[in-house]
Amino acid sequence: MDKFTTLTGIAAPLPIRNVDTDMIIPKQFLKTIHRTGLGETLFFEMRYDHQGKENPDFVLNKPAFRNASILVAGDNFGCGSSREHAPWALHDFGIRCVIAPDFADIFYSNCFQNGMLPIRLPQADLDKLMDDAERGANATITIDLETQEIRGPDGGVIKFEIEPFRKYRLLNGLDNIGLTMEKTDKIKAFEEEAAAKYPWL
């Protein structure tokens, strides 16, 4: 899994409440187990019309936000079904951080499993970032996970909270398998001891 330490990029504003996982990636694109290629289907029903042409009014289709790596969103982001394809699609598009007042629990956890940082902020702080994001490529934002700071284009700093264990995982690029591999020596020692104690097993 990719490490997340510091991210500087364009923030795209998506001031919509209750963006569910079907809006993030519709059900017809869930047949694959591969994490690549899903960026094209991200927000499919909002990004494209019925002929498959881009909707020029959707934020990620606008020139200023095509390379966005941060999404500033509304409350209850990622609600709905518990599809891991939702963070996969965001990550494949290039989004590494989503900032919102709150997230659905399963989506929030899935982000950490996939090297993405979801940040919860009070509405007042989010409103400031949403205003910054409206400026597009003229206003980049920096996310510093080590210091737990968001630095805006005008020099303003917003602090954010994150559980220490989840912070450790992101800084070191550890998913569940990576966490297990950190304990390889202990696992090997346990297996050797168990084999000696219970040779009939």
State residue 182's pLDDT score: 66
Q: Which residue has the higher pLDDT, 192 or 93?
A: 93
- In percent, the amount of the chain with pLDDT more than 90 equals 69
Task: Compute the distance between CA of residue 72 and CA of residue 99 in angstroms, rounded to an integer.
Answer: 5
Query: Per the structure, how many domains does the chain have?
Result: 1
State residue 174's pLDDT score: 87
Domain housing 84 = 6-173
DSSP state of 2: -
> Three-state SS for 159?
strand
Closest C-alpha among 46, 6, 10 to residue 135: 10
Structure tokens at 24: 């993030």
Instruction: Flag whether 85 is in a domain.
Output: yes
- Cβ-proximal residues to 121 (8 Å cutoff; 6+ apart), any chain: 99, 100, 101, 129, 158, 160
State residue 137's pLDDT score: 67
Predicted TM-score (pTM) above 0.85? yes
CA distances from 110 to 78, 86, 107, 166 (A): 10, 9, 5, 11
Q: What is the CATH number of the domain that holds 51?
A: 3.20.19.10
Instruction: Flag whether 32 is in a domain.
Output: yes
State residue 192's pLDDT score: 72
Taking all residues of the chain, what is their mean pLDDT, rounded to a whole number?
91
- Indicate if the pLDDT at residue 48 is higher than 90: yes
Instruction: Flag whether 1 is in a domain.
Output: no
State residue 54's pLDDT score: 95
What is the DSSP annotation of 41-106? GTTHHHHB-TTS-B-TTSGGGSGGGTT--EEEE-SSBTBSS--THHHHHHHHHT--EEEES-B-HH
Instruction: Flag whether 109 is in a domain.
Output: yes
Average pLDDT over residues 172-176: 84
Instruction: Flag whether 136 is in a domain.
Output: yes
Instruction: Flag whether 190 is in a domain.
Output: no
- Indicate if the pLDDT at residue 184 is higher than 80: no
Beta bridge partners of 16: none
Instruction: Flag whether 197 is in a domain.
Output: no
Backbone conformation region of residue 19, classed left if phi is above 0, alpha if psi is from -120 to 50, else beta:
beta
State residue 25's pLDDT score: 95
State residue 185's pLDDT score: 77
Average pLDDT over residues 127-137: 87
